[in-house]
Structure 1
Amino acid sequence: MSQPDAKPDPSDQEVVAFRVAGQDFCFDIMSVREIRGWTQTTTLPHAQSYVKGVINLRGNVVPVVDLADRLGFGATDPSERHVIIIAVVEGQTIGLLADVVSDILSVQNDAMHPVPDMVSDRVKAFISGVLLVDERMIRKLDLSRVVPASGVEAA
């Protein structure tokens, strides 16, 4: 009797799913370095409104982006229930403030659907696709657009 092959299909991708402002989002798990509880930030004067501030991560200064504010849902009033997803985006380590991390999902590429043409270019700038998982629709973030490499706005 043969056993099913346990190797992941190369067409699969793993994503970390999380909630922001009651909405489901995800991005490639290979960008994630760690997930930590909310840590008070140090405010930076004249930073973009969606930058909550910076934290000390083992001797490194890491900016924390409020994803709700960046995505247009309004600023988050963080509490001990929130999480900071530490990610690397184009070589830069950043913290992403989210409500909760809900899942790590292995999904087939054919489960990822394109963003509908009817939505605005601003939406398309941040969202690279829509993932259908059970009864949920999870938007996949393009982190390189959510967190611009320089101080210039991406969208």
Structure 2
Amino acid sequence: MHSTNGGFALAVAIVGLVVLQQLRARPVRRIGSLVAPVIFAVLGVAGLAFGVLSVVKDRPLTMLPIALLVVSFVVATGFGAARARTVRVWRDPQGVVLRKGTAATTALWLTSVCAHIGLGLWIDHAAGTGLLGTASLYAYVAFGLGTQNLLLRGRAAATDG
């Protein structure tokens, strides 16, 4: 994610699309459910590289921002697990397993994004320079969405049918 308003707006739009997509009833797919987290992971690696470079150009990267970054990914994983429990999973009359997010899913997404903003600001403050926390949004989404989708795949496999 870039430090420009355009980069921030793009990130908000992408995360918004992810949330909206989750409110639609759609099939649970073995591979398809991992495509978005992998894309976010690739973007996340690029964002983290940008973030690290934005810090180390002015000063060494210390352990506190790194530890906070790890904490943020643990938080993202926790939110992903919580969201997975709020998604409806059922088998339609044709035997297709479907999923659909609920209002609670949306609330947890919004809370998760707010948590990332707070943690990101803390990471950037701890780093003293640069945009490591801000640039970690895509990696944060990859951890949370990946966890959510893996747990949903497990629930889908456990449905009667």
Please tell me the TM-score bracket, short chain as reference. under 0.3
Relative to the length of structure 2, the TM-score reads: 0.23
Higher helix share: 2
Work out which structure has the larger RCO, using CA pairs closer than 8 Å and 6 or more positions apart in sequence.
Answer: 2
Higher strand share: 1
Relative to the length of structure 1, the TM-score reads: 0.24
